[in-house]
Structure 1
């Protein structure tokens, strides 16, 4: 089998004539005609009807063209994939993430991408709405919670654990906080998506719901965290956005045996036959940078 014959035949059909195919392939027209004739002779069937004005496919020619062009396309894609693998990651990469994911985490991710791949331009789209990656031209997304779109490839990053935090300044002047019921004596800083009327905390198989006064409610996780840092009360926050504050001693986790929601976190991207080098590079960096932020396990029962 001579794959050159099949490739020339496909090009003749796509170009519409022997001469046009010859120009595109940079071959003599006689060579193009000879290769198609050899293909027909080897197959023992006429593929093209030749007239002085135009070419037309026979029924057998149409069937052969459909299969041959598909196979040729796969071969070209395979070669393109090899060529792409040799190239350094470059170009623009668009990434979607929740708006409340955390400035420190995302800034660190961008910094590492820029350090390792200076030719890669990263654009972050921070939003709370669901983003259709293919329709909106997004290369990858960071998503928290259960995944619903099975058409996407998902790489797990860990879990986002929500727990109670307060500053040392606040705890020094506030009533003791030894169990969840004690929250009734404290100023609770409420992030509205986590509950406007109550917080539900869990410890292993146990759970308790604590009614809230609704005295301070905000729909910005960043504002709630800043209020906690300012000593204004106890906040229910994801542990990953509190880690910088905990490291320098500004925030303390209170009621450490108890937690609220526990959400899986994933990197997702559209399914595709060959992954661009820029996307592969980003996924590798993102996993290395982000997994340490989401290493919290569910609280074990006593």
Structure 2
């Protein structure tokens, strides 16, 4: 019995294609295909039906996948149980996060993990799409907003507040801003997912919808931050992306008692009996860093 063949087969089914499985396993597609073909030859049956567009399991394939996935899961848990008892974190740690979470934050997390645990290799996957942690072999995710998958473990580390920012120069030369309605007189840079016509601002006591003079609408917060820094207007930005600029005095929060949205931020990872040392170490470092940044 070749357990590698079974493991590759399970990953192909989980990933949905040979190419996706090959990327996750860091193997050539030809090697992945050969492993599955050898497994089928050894078993004397077809497990996967292959077409140009998709893969589908045969009836026998469904049975084999169900049992093989369960068996491999037990083996991984056994290895994790042993690894969790060791004092040294090591191995590849795969982390996914939203693309706009902030380069400085993610770089800081990666550097802290590497400095504290030099035997750990970190791979960052930055994407705005939903990543299936189990199917894609990802250890942990930084996620904002309401969580969709209740089968995962989530550790809340703070709240991402979307607020209004402008440069000190813009504040000096523009009309005073003392209440939300004053925004009608200002150049505003809007984040596209929040709409194109107005901002709805809230504080502890009220909620106000204000039509804005949106000269520019952008779907990337990095561009909005750059325009705000350049004095081009008031930008809607998450506070975690403006922390350094606010500390340095290069950005000023406009109407500091008001915000547009508040999203919970969580560290999310697959449910497992034993959390590996490398994952536990990352969770501790990331929780402390994000808590300081998000409050």
Fold in common (TM above 0.5): yes
Matched residue, 1:133: 133
Q: How does 1:15-34 map to 2 (within 5 A)?
A: none
Matched residue, 1:282: 282
Matched residue, 1:242: 242
Tell me how far apart the structure 2 counterparts of residues 129 and 76 of structure 1 sit (CA, whole Å). 27
Distance change (3 Å), C-alpha of 1:214 and 1:74: closer
Unaligned stretches of 5+ residues in structure 1: 1-69, 296-302
Matched residue, 1:19: none
Tell me how far apart the structure 2 counterparts of residues 219 and 116 of structure 1 sit (CA, whole Å). 36
SS of aligned partner of 2:292: helix
Distance change (3 Å), C-alpha of 1:171 and 1:81: same
Matched residue, 1:148: 148
Tell me how far apart the structure 1 counterparts of residues 285 and 79 of structure 2 sit (CA, whole Å). 26
CA deviations 1:206-246 (Å, max 9, x no partner) are: 11111123320111101101110111100111111111001
Tell me how far apart the structure 2 counterparts of residues 113 and 76 of structure 1 sit (CA, whole Å). 23
Instruction: Give the CA deviation at 1:195.
Output: 2.1
CA deviations 1:49-93 (Å, max 9, x no partner) are: xxxxxxxxxxxxxxxxxxxxx9xx989967962454214111111
Matched residue, 2:23: none
Matched residue, 1:217: 217
Matched residue, 2:112: 112
TM-score (structure 1 length as normaliser)? 0.70
Matched residue, 2:98: 98
Q: Which runs of 4+ in 1 moved over 4 A?
A: 73-80
Q: How does 1:32-181 map to 2 (within 5 A)?
A: 81-82=81-82, 84-181=84-181
Distance change (3 Å), C-alpha of 1:80 and 1:282: closer
Instruction: Give the CA deviation at 1:288.
Output: 1.3
Matched residue, 2:38: none
Matched residue, 1:7: none
SS of aligned partner of 1:196: coil
Tell me how far apart the structure 2 counterparts of residues 254 and 80 of structure 1 sit (CA, whole Å). 48
Tell me how far apart the structure 2 counterparts of residues 76 and 168 of structure 1 sit (CA, whole Å). 54
Distance change (3 Å), C-alpha of 1:206 and 1:108: same
Tell me how far apart the structure 2 counterparts of residues 191 and 77 of structure 1 sit (CA, whole Å). 43
Q: Tell me, yes or no, if the aligned pair for 1:104 and 1:244 is still in contact at 8 Å.
A: no
CA deviations 1:120-174 (Å, max 9, x no partner) are: 1111111111111111111100000111211000011110111111110111111
Q: How many residues align?
A: 224
Q: Tell me, yes or no, if the aligned pair for 1:109 and 1:290 is still in contact at 8 Å.
A: no
TM-score (structure 2 length as normaliser)? 0.72
Instruction: Give the CA deviation at 1:196.
Output: 1.4
Distance change (3 Å), C-alpha of 1:94 and 1:83: closer
Instruction: Give the CA deviation at 1:279.
Output: 0.9
Question: What CA RMSD, in Å, does the superposition of the two structures yield over aligned residues?
Answer: 2.1
Tell me how far apart the structure 2 counterparts of residues 289 and 260 of structure 1 sit (CA, whole Å). 24
Tell me how far apart the structure 1 counterparts of residues 77 and 216 of structure 2 sit (CA, whole Å). 57
Distance change (3 Å), C-alpha of 1:106 and 1:79: closer
Tell me how far apart the structure 2 counterparts of residues 157 and 179 of structure 1 sit (CA, whole Å). 31
Q: Tell me, yes or no, if the aligned pair for 2:225 and 2:237 is still in contact at 8 Å.
A: yes
